[in-house]
Structure 1
Amino acid sequence: MGECHDNPEFMLANCAKACDSCDNHMSRTTSGTRRETSATANDFLLRRTAKFGALQTADDHEYEQATLDTIQNMMEYFESKDYKSLPSNIKKNCKNDHELCSYWATIGECEKNMAFMKVGCAPVCQSCHLLDVANRCPELPDAVPALKEGDLNQIFERIVETAPGNRTTLTAKERRELVKLEMTEYTVTVHSRPNAVTNANANSISRDKKLDPWVIALDNFLTDEECDALIQHGYDAGYKRSEDVGALKFDGTYGSVQSTGRTSENAWCGVANECRGKTVPKRILNRMSSIMGIPTGNSEDFQILKYEVGQFYKTHHDYIGYQKNRQCGPRILTFFLYLSDVEAGGGTDFPDLGITVMPKKGRAVLWPSVYNAQPLYEDSRMMHQALPVVAGTKFGANVWVHMYDYLGPLAHGCD
């Protein structure tokens, strides 16, 4: 197709069929002289892009020629050995999902926003091979796990033992150190724990099942100002109807779907909207990291929640099965933050454990999704639900913690 672009005057007139331009080829007048149509080489090039997804545009005057060059490079990519050697199902599904893909690629988004561009604009990024999740997200042999067998119990034991608010007295030096670390004087209440922790580190899920799992609450974990700041970040991002994980897509990613079992609204404070790096979210992530002994990069973005009267989230589990074999690994811990008091209702209920933790501004609840003995495997006892709000408004935030680094895989669409 190179001559159709490089030599349009001849090719569009004499080889219109080969150039897929029969409707705009050079027609003849009754006198036999050629009449030039409105089809230009650039128009033809843009029309050709419809074969590979959304019809591309090059309307930005400053980048018009550069965008056209990007499109021409895409056409040459489709003629390359690299592309032609791909499996037929990959080639069939390699499409530009948006009309601005070529423009975005021109201004460097293939490198800046890889998670979306390498899949959603694969033709212009020349990354069709990455639609195969095995190519895009290979196993990382050097990935460092947050938990080894037996570590889970030790983490919770340490959190309980070192909670500053549970100590009878704190020295002036210790208080200065807390201020330096931007740590609050939180207190810990244990709602559930293994009754034989010292003997519970054996490599046995069957033994774990005989012991109660951990559920702890940390009061005064957040200040009022921090709670208010997270709520405002949610408004800045925009609260929308909460969704659950949807169906598997061809490229290995999962869609999202609204569910009648979840009626709350949520907003994201994350990397994409530059919220995660703001002062308060960053401080809270560092605080959680310090308490758990797990890097901040293992944590997902803040999911900030808003429940009005009557809204709820029916019984569910935070563990997502397919992530066990992804670069980030499964969710191993949930840190749930209460950002407001609630007049009535809105508790976090664990039906299998007979535990309900009620909302209180500044309170956090921490629980595992996996077993102490085998921390890659789901502990089914940790099903939970957000009970309906009876009066008032409930604001909260989820932070899910993964076995491995989460942010790196997120940047490549491998979460």
Structure 2
Amino acid sequence: AVFAAPGLGFYISEQKAHALVDMWREFDASTVCEEGGAAGEGACVWPDPRYTCSDTDNRCSYWAELGECMENPRYMLMSCARSCGSCFLKDKNYRCQRNETAHRPAISEKGEVNAMFEDVTTSETWKKYSPKIHSRDPWVVTFESFMSPEEVDDFLSQHMNFKRSVDAGALQPDGSFAEIRSMGRTSSSFWCTDQCWERPIMTKIAERISEITRIPVDNGEYPQVLRYDKEQEYTQHHDYIPGHLDLPIGPRLYTFFVYLSDVEDGGETHFPLVNDLKVKPKKGKAVLWPSVLDRNPLMKDRRTKHAALPVKKGRKYAMNIWLHMYNFHDYFEIGCTG
């Protein structure tokens, strides 16, 4: 179960509640400025939380006195933030600081992107997945047998609550992205978190992707499962989101895209700037490409913009796994991934 926090653009699970309680306990009020004033040099970082939010229920102060801020943090820390003294948790500039000691960059040197692609296309280790090079500059590689038909069937056997896909808009003060419904993106999607993520088949897929790309499992976003019905599409776009640079997770380095069905006609992944490449869906096949430049993995490689062409006949199932420069899962738990 999850709770939608009023005024905060993310959901609070049990894990998130524990993480936020830890931050609440460790908060040093001496670093907060008084209203209209300033603390000593280097000490004043955020505005006084007493003046930045309010409670959503007039009973909050009573509940806080009873100890509910600790007993029921999923609700109290956000809905009764003023009474609990937790307004600061709504500010991404406090909540979303990267732990530079615990979370090191997945790529730190020029040439590591190319080195990974050279390895997956030449090493005997990966031949079992039948890698095929479609382009070297920029890299686009398919794995013709990334998942077996049985593995795909196992993954799809779970219940999935598909909803209309949305694009990421502007980064909000709380660390979330505004949602944009676009006529250019008409698919439905399901985020593979919680029970879906904990299934053995998902563990196997995530570890396989990590081994191939050299990116830790925890640096990957939770998979986004996609469904395209007839005539549905996603027009030209890029997976690189500039707002990620202002979050502790850093940029998306790679997209690992897995086809979970055959498609009778249409539904190709189109790379217009990569020799007009069109990759045809096939059950169990995967496509891997970079969103960043080899010479500077913080910069967008504009050449890998792509589109999901309209499905003309049949239905298309697929799965996105976006891999980041830094840990994603830990920051997801405190609402710092957009």
Residue 155, structure 1, aligned to residue 155, structure 2: no
Query: Residue type matched to 2:257 in 1?
Result: F
Question: Which letter does structure 1 place at the counterpart of 2:253?
Answer: I
Give the secondary structure class of the aligned counterpart of 1:274: helix
Please state how far the C-alpha of 1:223 moved relative to its aligned partner: 1.4
Matched, 1:190 2:110: no
1:369 offset after TM fit, Å?
Answer: 0.2
Instruction: Give 1 or 2: higher helix fraction.
Output: 1
In the alignment, what sits opposite 1:215? Answer: 140
User: Given the alignment, which residue of 314, 319, 322 partners 1:392?
Assistant: 314
CA drift of 1:325 comes to 3.0
Give distance in 2, aligned partners of 1:261 and 1:401: 24
Deviation readout 1:23-52 (Å, 9 max, x if unpaired): xxxxxxxxxxxxxxxxxxxxxxxxxxxxxx
| Distance in 1 separating the partners of 2:307 and 2:47 | 44
Question: How many residues align structurally?
Answer: 294
Comparing 307-316 with 91-100, greater Cα deviation is found at: 91-100
Counterpart AA for 2:266: G
Instruction: Provide the residue aligned with 1:249 in structure 2.
Output: 172
Deviation at 1:302, TM superposition (A): 0.8
Q: 1:157-203, CA deviations, whole angstroms, 9 ceiling, x for partnerless residues? A: 1111125574xxxxxxxxxxxxxxxxxx210110000xxxxxxxxxx
State the one-letter code of the partner of 2:157.
Q
Q: 1:293 aligns with which of 209, 214, 221?
A: 214
Give the superposition deviation at 1:388.
0.2
Q: Could you tell me how far apart the structure 1 residues matched to 2:285 and 2:68 are?
A: 44
Gapped runs of 5+ residues in structure 2?
Answer: 1-5, 8-28, 36-45
Matches within 5 A, 1:110-149: 110=73, 119=78, 122-123=81-82, 125-142=84-101, 143-148=103-108, 149=110
1:88-147 per-residue CA deviation (whole Å, 9 max, x = no partner) reads 79555524569999799567453xx6xx97556534653211222111112433231111
Following the alignment from structure 2 to structure 1, what is the Cα–Cα distance between the partners of residues 160 and 51? Answer: 36
Question: 1:214 Cα shift?
Answer: 0.3
SS state of the match for residue 119, structure 2? Answer: helix
Question: Highest CA radius of gyration, 1 or 2?
Answer: 1
Q: Counterparts of 1:162 and 1:108 in 2: how far apart (Å)?
A: 53
State whether residues 163 and 188 of structure 1, in contact with CA within 8 Å, keep that contact through their aligned partners in structure 2: no
Higher RCO, Cα 8 Å, sep 6+: 2
Q: What are the Cα deviations for residues 307-349 of structure 1, in whole angstroms up to 9, with x where unaligned?
A: 0000000111111101123211110000000000000000000
Could you tell me how far 1:279 is from its partner in structure 2? 0.8
Do residues 231 (structure 1) and 192 (structure 2) align?
A: no
Distance 1:81 1:162, change over 3 A: closer
Secondary structure at the residue paired with 2:120?
Answer: helix
Give the whole-Å Cα distance in 2 for the aligned partners of 1:392 and 1:98: 50
Secondary structure in 1 aligned to 2:225?
strand
Identity of aligned residues (%): 38
User: Contact (CA 8 Å) 2:33, 2:48: kept in 1 or not?
Assistant: no
Q: Which residue of 1 aligns with 2:14?
A: none
The farther-off stretch of 134-143 and 397-406 is 134-143
CA RMSD of the aligned region, Å?
Answer: 2.9
The answer to whether 1:278 aligns with 2:199 is yes
Where in structure 1 are there 5+ consecutive unaligned residues? 1-52, 55-79, 167-184, 194-211
- Alpha carbons of 1:329 and 1:119: their partners in 2 closer, same or farther (altered >3 Å)? farther
Deviation at 1:219, TM superposition (A): 1.1
In 2, Cα distance between equivalents of 1:237 and 1:392: 19
